[in-house]
Amino acid sequence: MDHLKQQLVDYWRNEPKVKIVRAPKREGLIRARLLGARHSTAPVLTYLDSHCECTTGWLEPLLDRIARDSTTVVCPVIDVIDDTTLEYHWRDSSGVNVGGFDWNLQFNWHAVPDREKKKHQNSAEPVWSPTMAGGLFSIDKKFFERLGTYDSGFDIWGGENLELSFKTWMCGGTLEIVPCSHVGHIFRKRSPYKWRSGVNVLRRNSVRLAEVWLDDYAKYYYQRIGNDKGDFGDIGSRRDLRKKLRCKSFKWYLDNIYPELFVPGDAVANGEFRNMGYGAKTCLDSPARKSDLHKPVGLYPCHRQGGNQ
């Protein structure tokens, strides 16, 4: 990796606006971004994953929205770069999707809802998005700091995009996808990171997120992880921040920003399906792996921990 050492310093030597900041040890994506923010002197922060390619004129539409309202957090349309051939696949503005999430606290994409489409006269206008993917966005630095930046208790990667999305909406901002801005992104088939052994980083981050921002709705996430929160650290300062900012409730967020999301509590019933013919010891169980998506459910010993049952 010599190209990331002195070669990189030499390459940018004649560009005084470019700063190369190195962490003394591995910090992970979240704390690395916070390190960059501390060294930045510009009024707007723009974060991009390393595996991106920017198109001509991608930045101006993002900065324009922030110049109009400093509490607007903006994301470009994310075009796909083939991870094998590096072919660039341009996404037409009429095919723009917005971000959402499920009760596993996993980000997902979905079509722009009709209620949002009715507010616009053409497909070039920015659209409100309940959440963002997190790898590509611009934000006013002072607004980012007012929101408490990222939760520094998050480790490596995961959940930070939902945390920033929720508190942007709940604490006085808006989150938009700007169709006039396009950035290509390589969606990798597997994670290149090596995680710390003995720690479920994604779960730890998600529990911190749920404890601070989801209010009573956190129970729907816990039902999916077997109500095993594990050690998620001290969240007192994050709860104090939310109280200080007088942020709205998560119910307000669901009612006004993401009413399309199905809330499990609205179901007629929930719980386990037990097979009474086998002594009520077996339950319907859904496959857990993503590769098992759309496969039929089967029978498995009841464990009373929720999750797949």
Q: What is the pLDDT of residues 239-271, one digit of tens each?
A: 999 999 999 999 999 999 999 999 988 777 777
Cβ neighbours, 10 Å, residue 67: 13
Are 306 and 227 in contact by the 8 Å Cβ rule? The answer is yes
pLDDT band at 197 (very low <50, low <70, confident <90, very high): low
Domain boundaries of the chain, sorted by first residue:
41-268, 271-309
Cα-Cα-Cα-Cα dihedral sign, residues 97, 99, 100, 101: positive
- Residues 211-238 pLDDT 10s: 999 999 999 999 888 777 878 889 999 9
Task: Tell me what pLDDT residue 52 has.
Answer: 94
> Whose structure tokens read 């499920």?
102
Cα-Cα-Cα-Cα dihedral sign, residues 137, 139, 145, 148: negative
- Residues 49-102 pLDDT 10s: 989 999 999 999 999 999 999 999 999 999 999 999 999 999 887 779 999 999
pLDDT higher than 70, residue 195 = no
CATH of the domain spanning 41-268, picked from 3.90.550.10, 2.10.210.10, 3.40.50.800, 3.30.1490.20: 3.90.550.10
Enumerate helices (H) and strands (E) in the chain, giving the number of each: 10, 12
Give, for 72, the enclosing helix (H) or strand (E): strand 72-81
Task: Tell me what pLDDT residue 196 has.
Answer: 61
Strand partners, 46: 138
Task: Tell me what pLDDT residue 193 has.
Answer: 62
Q: How far apart are CA 309 and CA 292, in angstroms?
A: 15
Give, for 299, the enclosing helix (H) or strand (E): strand 298-301
